[in-house]
């Protein structure tokens, strides 16, 4: 009998698959406080985690029997990859199941950054204010969109932005330029070309190369009134620089789904008006979550 522990909430289909296995015991630790998780990890052969559980030194030290960890999602930035390797633990992710969900979340924030419907909705519902002249937006049509990172998610955001009539420019040193140009997207190796766009969105993994990739010096080069989106990982845009430049009006609007430290219920950005903030919902569609849970369960079982 092998034990699989599920540390973060996954779609029911994942649990159903795990429970069908006669030689697998399932521990549902999704409601267990993180402080108590370490006490039960020692029983598990395989763990399934999402972004709410850091696979760090403490986690790995507690999981003394662990042979494999399945990260139910794409990002492994909250996993100590070297620590897993040293202990002989296989670390797997589910790289593409939430692509469309993340793309569409980005489009939500992009459209809102243009029209601020979240803010006007709150003003109407919470304050009961009907003030149409307060809410002039801008159009995506004929505006430039700079995409940093043109992989699975960034490239699909580009295709959707083209449908809105935007001029799309991609920066990604790790792709062949044709990946962008074949789609009708301009490819650039010059980061400053991205910084001169009307809208900028980022879709890179979080690592030493990308943390604080956009900070004060980069924002200083941007247009006054630039609008920024981050539905990838917190900290790719320096959060202090975002706050300063939103307050000054240099950045007209920020759409943000991710924070450097999550959960971020007490973050200074949340006190600033010209932004839309969501609690890391990029992967949260029923379609994506059922795909992720199924793939994660299958990987855990085969491990």
DSSP states of 181-201: HTTT-EEES-HHHHHTSSEEE
51 binding ligand MLT? (CB under 6 A): yes
- Centre a 10 Å sphere on the Cβ of residue 134 and count the other Cβ atoms it contains: 11
In contact, 14 and 301? CB cutoff 8 Å: no
Query: Per rule CB under 6 A, is residue 74 in the interface with ligand MLT?
Result: yes
178 catalytic, yes or no? no
In the three-class reduction of DSSP (H, G, I as helix; E, B as strand; rest coil), residue 284 is classed as coil
* Residue 144 in the binding site for ligand MLT (CB under 6 A): no
Of the ranges 19-27, 37-45, 69-77, 180-188, which one interacts with ligand MLT (CB under 6 A)? 69-77
Whole-number minimum distance, CB 292 to ligand MLT, in Å?
A: 7
Q: How far apart are CA 29 and CA 106, in angstroms?
A: 30
Dist CA 65 CA 63 (whole Å): 6
Binding to ligand MLT in span 7-46, by CB under 6 A? none
Applying CB under 6 A, which of residues 14, 63, 75, 255 lies at the interface with ligand MLT? 75
* Shortest distance (Å) from residue 50 CB to ligand MLT: 3
Contacts of 57 (CB under 8 A, 6+ apart): 80, 83
Catalytic pick among 21, 104, 193, 262:
262
Active-site annotation holds for 109: no
- Closer residue to ligand MLT, CB minimum distance, 143 or 203: 203
Cβ 47 to ligand MLT shortest distance, Å: 14
Cβ closer to ligand MLT: 17 or 101?
Answer: 101
In the complex, which residue's CB is closest to ligand MLT?
73
DSSP letters spanning 101-154: HHHHHHHHHHHHHHH-HHHHHHHHHTT----GGG-----STT-EEEEE--SHHH
DSSP state of 163: H
Smaller CB distance to ligand MLT: residue 56 or 216? 56
Does 210 participate in binding ligand MLT (rule CB under 6 A)?
A: no
Q: Which of 109, 280, 294, 295 is catalytic?
A: 280
154 makes contact with ligand MLT (CB under 6 A): no
Contact partners, residue 266, CB within 8 Å, separation at least 6: none
Token pair in block for residue 85: 């390797």
Does 276 contact ligand MLT by CB under 6 A?
Answer: no
Catalytic site includes residue 115:
no
- Tell me the catalytic residues: 233, 262, 280
Site residues, ligand MLT (CB under 6 A): 50-51, 73-75, 98, 280, 283
């Amino acid at each position: 009998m092998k034990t699989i522990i599920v540390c973060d909430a996954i779609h029911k289909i994942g649990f159903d698959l795990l429970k069908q296995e006669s030689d697998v015991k399932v521990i549902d630790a999704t409601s267990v406080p993180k402080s108590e998780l370490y006490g039960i990890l020692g029983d598990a052969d395989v763990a399934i985690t999402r972004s709410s559980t850091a696979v760090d030194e403490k986690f790995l030290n507690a999981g003394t029997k662990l042979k494999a960890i399945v990260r139910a999602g794409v990002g492994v930035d909250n996993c100590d990859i070297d620590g897993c390797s040293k202990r002989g633990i296989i670390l797997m992710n589910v790289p593409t199941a939430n692509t469309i969900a993340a793309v569409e979340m980005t489009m939500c924030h992009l459209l809102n950054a243009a029209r601020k419907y979240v803010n006007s909705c709150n003003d109407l519902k919470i304050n009961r204010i009907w003030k149409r002249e307060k809410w002039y937006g801008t159009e995506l049509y004929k505006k430039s969109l700079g995409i940093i990172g043109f992989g699975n998610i960034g490239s699909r955001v580009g295709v959707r932005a083209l449908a809105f009539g935007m001029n799309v420019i991609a920066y990604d040193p790790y792709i062949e330029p044709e990946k962008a140009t074949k789609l009708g997207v301009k490819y650039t190796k010059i980061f400053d070309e991205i910084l001169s766009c009307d809208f900028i969105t980022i879709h890179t993994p979080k690592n030493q190369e990308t943390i604080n990739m956009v900070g004060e010096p980069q924002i200083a080069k941007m247009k006054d009134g630039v609008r920024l989106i981050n539905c990838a990982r917190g900290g790719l845009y320096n959060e202090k620089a975002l706050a300063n430049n939103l307050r000054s009006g240099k950045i007209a609007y920020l759409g943000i789904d991710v924070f450097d430290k999550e959960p971020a219920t007490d973050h200074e950005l949340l006190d600033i008006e010209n932004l839309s903030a969501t609690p890391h919902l990029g992967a949260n569609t029923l379609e994506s979550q059922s795909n992720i849970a199924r793939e994660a369960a299958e990987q855990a079982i085969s491990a």
